[in-house]
Amino acid sequence: MTTCQQHPEVQEFGEYVRLRQDALLRTARRLVSDPFDAQDLLQTALARACSRWDGITNKRLADAYLRRVMINTRSEWWRARKLKEVPTEHLPEAPVDDIAERHADRALLMDAMESLSPNQRRVVVLRTWEQMSTEETAAALGMATGTVKSTLHRALTRLRHELQHRDPDPV
């Protein structure tokens, strides 16, 4: 197993990271709600991609490859976290920032996103937040375009239902 420091194309990979890190961090931030976890997710994905950089023959697909690595890593984390969770009778109160309404809306949405299956969450992130086409999303996730469409439809229906039942003051 080679490390990135020993990799012959380390300069090319470093340049790619410098150019694309903001966009990749936005993707990571959409996959996990905590900004520090998003940075960890991106770093993990970059470490995994670095050792396989020479295997990516079409470098134009590097973003798609890294998104896939982040999605898979997020799924691994989700499975590991799921085993460690212990239900409690009382939830701690969340602190409210000065821009409370925006944070509350985001927290409500991210909480509702947790009700989705990992597959639904992936499709929603790529189609809605990353604004990828149905075909691009299907290629990135290795599924048929019809599956992407039906998964997105079910996920958005679920999110609407969750948000209606969680929002104490629906409009």
| Digit-coded pLDDT (tens) for 21-32 | 898 998 898 888
CATH of the domain at 117: 1.10.10.10
Question: What's the number of domains the chain is made of?
Answer: 2
| Residues 66 and 99 placed together within one structural domain of the fold | no
* Residue at a domain's end among 53, 86, 119: 86
| Residues 74 and 129 placed together within one structural domain of the fold | no
| Residues 111 and 165 placed together within one structural domain of the fold | yes
CB 66 within 8 Å of CB 46: yes
Does residue 56 sit in helix, strand or coil?
A: coil
**Is the pLDDT score of 170 beyond 70?**
no
Highest average pLDDT, of 6-10, 126-130, 151-155, 160-164, comes from 151-155
Backbone region of residue 82 per phi and psi (left: phi > 0; alpha: psi in -120 to 50; beta: other values):
alpha
| Residues 36 and 54 placed together within one structural domain of the fold | yes
Highest average pLDDT, of 81-90, 91-100, 140-149, comes from 140-149
Range of the structural domain that residue 123 is part of? 94-171
| Residues 59 and 119 placed together within one structural domain of the fold | no
The structure tokens listed for 131 are 């604004």
| Residues 103 and 81 placed together within one structural domain of the fold | no
27: enclosing H helix or E strand: helix 10-31
Query: Which amino acid, 143?
Result: M
CB 50 within 8 Å of CB 4: yes
| Residues 50 and 102 placed together within one structural domain of the fold | no
**Is the pLDDT score of 55 beyond 50?**
yes
